[in-house]
Copies of this chain bind each other. A is one copy, B any other.
């Protein structure tokens, strides 16, 4: 018999004991029934669920976390929220995790390894059930922190090969290669690469650009422009002007992100440089506005929303201890050819 105490510290909440009393079974049976534990008689499961429903029982996450050493939180670490890319990633993940009963704890690293580690440490005290992190590059100590925690972790945005790691992304390098090839195919020869932020994925794109031009015998290291500032229309605007002033005969600029490219298009407009006639401009990520720009911007559509969803699904399997069929998922990309790279 379960006593229904209502003493001074009771929170007024409907508890497992209340449900057990109403269902005429033990607290443990209700606990197991509600979590879908297999070893409960069908009849008792129904009685428990009905009683829970009737009383409006909602499990207490804190009590559950304390008892099981595992919270209903999933921590997600992303560099920024000012790039729509990561907003989509987050939305996709959240939309998948929330219905499964997991709350998202979001940490913004600002592309800073130390900040990432700090955030991670804070999250770990909450004993999250799962971890979602951006990319694979991080300090050894951060890597250890993740590994030693034993908490399931899925890497976002890149495709990894390493045994025992999980990832969902696409090949940044291949995508950049495809774009560069497109520029060559449409007759461009002096193709510049303009990168900002210089995070690992940007550098992978730079590598793809290089690969492709070297293969074609067109690579010229002086056409590669790297700016450590955060990516923005403003920086793209500046870089365009800079590149053109130093290398006026460039006939294409491949910006590593659409906001840079949009800034570049505005600079071209301002300087009276005809795009695509005199110069082709390409971007990356297909951000809002790129289809409406003048000229419309050729870019690479990246499946970041889908990455968030798929990574969350894999994480759900890991958190439930289910086997994961495909630990490293490549979701590909799509070249979107628009006006800004039409053949000259």
Contact = CB atoms under 8 A, between A and B. Distances in A.
Interface of A: 11, 58-63, 65-66, 69, 71, 81-82, 84, 87, 90-91, 94, 98, 103-106, 108, 122, 125-127, 232-234, 237, 259, 262-263, 266, 269-270, 288-289, 291-294
Nearest to A103: B105
Nearest to A75: B103
B292 A234 contact: yes
A61 B292 contact: no
Given A91-B108, A104-B105, A263-B289, 4 more contacts: A62-B127, A103-B122, A234-B291, A266-B294
A108 B81 CA distance: 14
Nearest to A234: B292
Contacts of A122: 98, 103
A61 B126 contact: yes
23 contacts: A59-B125, A60-B66, A61-B62, A61-B125, A61-B126, A62-B63, A62-B65, A63-B66, A81-B81, A82-B84, A87-B87, A98-B122, A105-B105, A232-B288, A232-B289, A233-B292, A234-B291, A237-B292, A263-B289, A266-B292, A266-B294, A269-B294, A270-B294
A237 B292 CA distance: 7
A25 B127 CA distance: 28
A270 to B, nearest CB: 6
As for how many copies of this chain the complex holds, the number is 2
A136 B73 CA distance: 29
B125 A58 contact: yes
A59 B126 CA distance: 10
Nearest to A62: B65
Contacts of A294: 266, 269-270
A35 to B, nearest CB: 16
A118 to B, nearest CB: 9
Given A125-B58, A291-B234, A106 B104 contact: yes
Nearest to A289: B233
A66 to B, nearest CB: 4
A259 B125 CA distance: 40
Contacts of A292: 233-234, 237, 263, 266
Contacts of A84: 82
